[in-house]
Amino acid sequence: MMVCFDLRFPALAQRLRQAGADLLSAPSAFTYLTGQAHWSLLLRARALDSQCMVIGAAQGGDHVYKNGDIRQTWGHTTITAFDGTVINSYEDSELNNAIHKDNKNYALILATLDKQTQQQGRQKMPIFDCHRLA
């Protein structure tokens, strides 16, 4: 498991793969502007760097601090395959059409980890045999 800031650095994703990971997760609360610019790109890049499925579980919407300040987060929970393709995504920052439970809203996206296809992709492009600095 990583946190959202970790998505900026490929070395952690690569080390997790070297340790045997097939699936990486990165819960996040990217600000709206940063998320809009970087979120999908970073998830796809870490999937490509590590050849792992990457789950970006993201908090979205407006968050009010005790002092009244508001922080807007990007949301857009996304699951990316080992080859950088987006498998599933909740394409919104707000929880429209979400599940309502206990006065809270939730969105749920699903994907299947196809370990056989992932392994075949890793064999076709054996990037971990070529690392010079990792």
pTM of the model: 0.89
3-class DSSP state for residue 127? Answer: helix
3-state secondary structure 49-71: HHCCEEEECECEEEEECCCCCEE
Paired with 72 in beta bridges are: 62
pLDDT (tens digit, 0 to 9) for every residue of the chain, 134 residues total? Answer: 899 999 999 999 999 999 999 999 999 999 999 999 999 999 999 999 999 999 999 888 888 899 999 999 999 999 999 999 999 999 888 776 666 667 667 778 999 999 999 999 999 999 988 866 65
- Nearest-angstrom CA–CA distance, 4 and 121: 26
Domains of the chain by residue range? 4-129
Gap between the Cα atoms of 14 and 38, Å rounded = 19
CATH of domain 4-129: 3.60.110.10
